[in-house]
Structure formats: structure tokens, C-alpha cells
Amino acid sequence: MRHKISALKKLSRNLWWSWDTEAKELFKELSPLLWERVNHNPVELLHHISNDELQARLDCEFSEKLESVTKRFEEYLATQDTWAAKHAPSLTEKTVAYFSAEFGIHESVRIYSGGLGVLSGDHIKSASDLGLNFVGVTLFYKEGYFLQSLNREGWQTEEYPLQYPESLPLEKVTDSEGKDLIISLDIAQSEVFAQAWFLNVGRARLYLLDTNIPANESHYRDICSRVYGGDQNMRINQEIVLGIGGVKLLRTLGINPVVYHMNEGHSAFLIIELLAAELAKGKEFEEAKANVKEQCVFTTHTPVAAGHDRFSRDMMHYSLDKYLNKTGIAFDDFMRTGSEDQSNLHGLFTMTVLALNLSRTANGVSKLHGEVSREMWQHIYAVDSPGDVPIGHITNGVHTASWNSGRTDKFWRQYTDNLETLTASPDAASEIVAKVTDEELWSLRYRLKRNLIDFIYRYLSNQLFHQHAYTVYLEDESSKSSKNPLSPDVLTIGFARRFATYKRAPLIFSDIERLTRLVNHPTMPVQIIFAGKAHPHDDAGKHYIQQIVEHTRLPQFKGKIIFLENYNLGVAKRMISGVDVWLNNPIRPMEASGTSGQKTALHGGLNFSIPDGWWPEAYNGENGWSIGSGEQLDNHQDQDRHDAAKLYDVLENQIIPTFYDRNVNNIPVKWLKKVRNAITTIGPVYNTHRMVKDYTLQYYLKD
């Protein structure tokens, strides 16, 4: 019995469980109620269940399941038969280190804010699955990113509940004597200390630096409080700890990566620490730079010039001069590595420029974003045309198993061994999809949508209760007849992501009359689910949320257009699996890739998107819909008007009629044809297994 309990505890301490359907179910079965209350956190769950209680629950059936999951987990950890062993054997030994300011691995570990973090999380999971020797490096944020609630006025408020290491599967990094391992850093004139944790993510490890220790003055302890929290000074401090601290930590642990992959410019200060090591070996600065460049790989994510991290010369001098002096790097030499204008070292220091200058490869995250990046950075290269700028692209993907656990995973396993066979290639997918009847596929859609609606009612009653809006919203006289009107029979559109203004969340409300008609059509109605957080400093984004919440309260939209608060990985999983159509309407070309639409494919969802980010590559005319064909107008008002008109036209004339076009058995045959096309063309391509293989073969391996 005792070894069963310890097997369960062991399972809870490796996030592998989060992408394994049966492992997840084990924890949920222990106590479904508690499982919800602890935000699907098995470590916390097991804290709340005594060993006696556990023993009582470990009946025969449960024990058998536990045994089979444990067996699979152990095989997963031990197997030598991996993709990397065949295709990149050197990288099963030598380490790739991946630095990112955020990692979205599971909703219970709140160290991410949005898509960039989710991408990092999906990247490390695939690296583990594929058998690379891979470590991630990030910060441990004790307050994480905020929890969003909306007040009665629909205004976003932020809460920062602490997350405690002992409630997470975090392990403390210790030295050979078992004492906390402490890294020392120079920031400004001070010495700052960081301890470190790690999370097991399958076979990979994610290291997290943490300055929240008594040895530090309080303003340095706060560096690791919040994801992207604070001002510019906080930002530079976070980036020093992540980049410089990260390299120091790996070195102290005896890990010598052959590749340092910087996911966005936040971690680019790691270059300083690598330069320092070269200088300490007696190399000249130019040679040191050349050697560092050989070790670095850089991925940029920001298609807008103003969106890149930049620091003033003063701030750079204040924060880094002492340390640069120590390492023997002249301040101006360093300023030169990050200056867009080499003739003026008094301007801003751009993290992206540092990373571009000192990486052996650089890439954008979709074909279109590659093009945009080459144009945006041409001025820092001595080349005549954007085509010659050495920035390539690898299009983002999503971790298939993480985004398809549960019902969808089980559905596909009726037709094939596992999701990896389904997503191995478009041909493999076609063959498997051909085995599924329309009735079966439609019944999957129906069940997933019903799950989402059940979830929404549970979630919403809680949300309205604390908004003190329950009575105004659902129970007033006028809406009695339409109470709980969400229905699995109705075409359901989802829109959820960070509320950065370029993503234009309220675009579909541009013509209220037209939307009213579509939503309330007597035989072909539509319902829409929204969610998303605005950055705490982004009042424009908060106004967008408020506008949408106000619209959801209009009589004609009440109960038919819904805003769910506190978008996170858990809410995302519900939404992307349940909705029929995933809407994405950013201002082109500001969405570097976007990944949320990729998550819908194997659940049978269809994308309806501006041809931005990954969508122009994936869209083939049959696997979803495009909003316009990429027309770019000079000003935002015209652009919004243009894109909104296209959006309504496609929705009214194509999407809605196709959804409601039924055969004698009430099956939307033409719709399902599109669903089949999306499964076969999107699932096998826009996943992180394909993406990490591309990174490995094109960038991690040196010829």
C-alpha cells in the first residue's frame, strides 16, 4: 500500500501527468470536488488527503489504473528509442538550454502570462517527448501573473495571490552538501543573490531562479514577484537575473550547453555572461564575440518595432557598468552590440539587436513574420535587400497531447494507437480520419460543446456571484424566458487571448444591428464566448473588456454572448475544445504567429481568421475561413471597417449557412468535410513536435 501512495506522489511531482489523459483522471478520481478547488494541482490535492483516506481510495480498480499509468511513466522516462536518438544523437548527450521569461505548462503553475509562455511550455514538453537533452531556464514568480476578476462595471481588477513552492512540484536546487545553492549577481552597485528550483517536465528540467530570499534587500527580493511586473528598472533587473543568473546557475551545476536558445529578447543578457567566460579564458573581445555567437540561437516574436525591449544608456550604465567592468568588457563596446545606430551609442539599447548580433541563427515564428522581421531589421545588417537579412522562420505549433487530453484523446484512440500516429503526417491523418463516420464525428463535437456549456454555467454562476451581478444579469424579469439559453445546437464562436489592443477583441461588435440579427436568427442563431486578460498597465485593453462585458448585458445578447473571467490554460482547454469556430481578428501583420487556433483542430473546431501569423500558411480554402485576403490599409479606422465588413460577410454568407445545412439525419455534412480537412492539414503540421524537430535539424545541430 505504501508504495502505491509513493507512486502517486512521485507522479504528482513530474508535470508529465498533465499531458497524459489517464494520469490526469487518476488525480481527479481521488476527489473530483477537491480537484476543482485546488485548480487541478495534484501536489496540493495530495496535501489535503490524509494517508488513511488515500488508502481507503486505493481499491482494486484504482490500483490497477495507477499501476498501468506508473508503468507507462517509467517507460517514458527510461526509453532510449526516441526521435532524437535517431535524428540528432549528439543532442541526447549534449544539452540545449532554452531561456524564456515565462513558461505556460499547466494552469496550476502560474509563471506565464500568455502565448509566449504557452509556446515555451509546449516547446519543453515536445523536447522531452522527442528525447533531446533539454533544460529550460526561467524565473520563479511568487505572485505569478494576476488573477483577473471583473467588477460590476465590467472593469478588470487584478489579484496576486502568492504561490507557495511547497504547493507546487518544485524541487530546491542544492549543492553537494545539500545546502541551498545560491548564485551571486551584480546589479547596479549591489550584490544580489538567487536561489534556484527545478520542475520536472517529463525528461526535461525547468530551472527557476528566485531572488526572494532574506539575503537580498527588499527591492531585489521583488524582482521575482510578478511576471512582467513593475517598471523599466524592474524589467532590466528581471532580465539580468534571467540571462546572467541563468548561465551562472547552469555553470555551477556543471551543465555546459552546446546551444543557448533565447526565446524572445528578454534573456539576451545571457550573452554577457558567455562573453565574460570567453574573456576569462584570455580571448580578445572580437574573438569572444565570435565564439559566443556560435553557441546562441535566437527566436524573435514581435512584429512591431515599438514592442521590443529597449533600455536607455543611463539605465544600462547604472545597472550593468560595475559588472561589465569586472568582466573586462568596455561599456561602449557593449552598448555597440545592442545599438541600432552604430554611430550613436547614446541612444537606446535594444535587446533584440543584441540577440541578433550575437546569435548564429535567428528566426521569426511564421513565414509572414519572418518576412516582416527581415524588413524590420534590415537596417542593422550591411545588406541591400530584406531578402538578404539572415532571419529565417520556424512556424509555431502546439503540444498535441497537452491540448487534446481527455475525451478527444480517447475518441481518436478508437481509431489509432495514439495522437502521435494521427499527427505523424497529413497522409496518416487522412487515413485515420477516413475511418470515422460523420455521425461519430458530429457526436464528438456535440459532446465537447455540451461539456463547455456545462463548464460555463458552473463557472459563470461563481463569477456573477462575486461580481454581485447575478441578479442584474441572469435573474431579472426580462431574461427569465431566456435563462440558460446557451445550447449545444447553436453555432458557437470562441474568442480568447490576451487583450492586447492589436488583437481587436471588440471587432465583431462594429455593427450591433447586424450582430443582433445574426445572434438572434430564429432558425440559425449564433452564440459567442469571450475571455482574456489585459496587461495591468493597459487601460485601452481594459476598456475593450468593459465594452464587451457591457454588450453581453444588452437584452438581445444576454446569455448568448458571454465573457468568462480569468482566462488561463484551464479555461483555454475548455474553450478550444468546445467551440465550433475560433475567431482571430488581429491587425495584420501584428500577430507574429498566434497558436490558439492550432489547438482547436483535433477537437473538430474550425478557424476563422485574418490571414495573419500562421494562418496564411495553413489556410487552403477548405479547412476554415479567411477574413479578407490580407488587404492592408493606411489607417486603423479604415482597416477596422474593412475587416469588420469582411468578417460579417463570411460569417453570414458562408459560416452560418454551412453549419445549419443538414442532411436527413440532421448532420451538417459539408461542415464536417471542412472539419476533416482541418484535422488532416492542421493537426500534423502545426504542432510542437514538428516545430522542435525543425529547430533541432535547422538550428540546434551544427552541420
Ligand X SMILES: *Cc1c(COP(=O)(O)O)cnc(C)c1O
Residue whose CB is less far from ligand X, 569 or 679: 569
Helices of type H across 484-630:
512-519, 539-552, 569-578, 615-618
Residue in the block written with cell 481527479: 28
**Least Cβ distance, residue 339 to ligand X (angstroms):** 30
DSSP string, 135-187: EEEEE--SSBSPEEEE-TTS-EEEE-----GGGTTEEE-B-TTSSBPEEEEEE
- Characterize 584-618 residue by residue with b for buried, 16 or more Cβ atoms within 10 angstroms of its Cβ, and e for exposed: bbbbbbbbbbbbbbbbbbbbbbbbbbbbbbbbbbb
Residue whose CB is less far from ligand X, 114 or 541: 114
Residue in the block written with cell 496576486: 160
3-state SS, residue 365? coil
Residue whose CB is less far from ligand X, 118 or 204: 118
Sign of CA dihedral 72, 172, 570, 301: negative
**Least Cβ distance, residue 700 to ligand X (angstroms):** 24
**Least Cβ distance, residue 221 to ligand X (angstroms):** 28
Judge contact between 559 and 457, C-beta under 8 A: no
**Least Cβ distance, residue 229 to ligand X (angstroms):** 18
**Least Cβ distance, residue 595 to ligand X (angstroms):** 5
- Characterize 417-451 residue by residue with b for buried, 16 or more Cβ atoms within 10 angstroms of its Cβ, and e for exposed: eebebbbbebebbeebbeebebeebbebbebbbeb
- Nearest CA to 238 among 257, 249, 224? 224
3-state SS, residue 343? coil
Residue whose CB is less far from ligand X, 196 or 529: 529
Residue whose CB is less far from ligand X, 216 or 595: 595
C-alpha cell at 240: 539580468
Residue whose CB is less far from ligand X, 134 or 495: 495
Residue whose CB is less far from ligand X, 584 or 658: 584
Residue 25's φ and ψ, nearest 5 degrees, are -65, -35
- Nearest CA to 425 among 624, 689, 625, 603? 689
Cα separation, 358 vs 338, whole angstroms: 10
**Least Cβ distance, residue 111 to ligand X (angstroms):** 13
**Least Cβ distance, residue 600 to ligand X (angstroms):** 10
Cα separation, 367 vs 67, whole angstroms: 45
- Nearest CA to 96 among 374, 297, 390? 297
Cα separation, 195 vs 245, whole angstroms: 10
Residue whose CB is less far from ligand X, 114 or 397: 114
**Least Cβ distance, residue 626 to ligand X (angstroms):** 16
Interface ranges with ligand X (CB under 6 A): 114-115, 118, 497-498, 567-569, 572, 594-596
Cα separation, 119 vs 295, whole angstroms: 22
Residue whose CB is less far from ligand X, 319 or 585: 585
**Least Cβ distance, residue 594 to ligand X (angstroms):** 4
Please give the torsion angle defined by the CA atoms of residues 75, 77, 81 and 85, in that order, rounded to the nearest 10 degrees.
180
Residue whose CB is less far from ligand X, 266 or 497: 497
**Least Cβ distance, residue 517 to ligand X (angstroms):** 28
**Least Cβ distance, residue 156 to ligand X (angstroms):** 15
Residue whose CB is less far from ligand X, 235 or 573: 573
- Nearest CA to 492 among 564, 386, 401, 396? 564
Residue whose CB is less far from ligand X, 243 or 611: 611
- The percent of the chain in helix, strand and coil, each rounded to the nearest 5, is 50, 15, 35
**Least Cβ distance, residue 619 to ligand X (angstroms):** 15
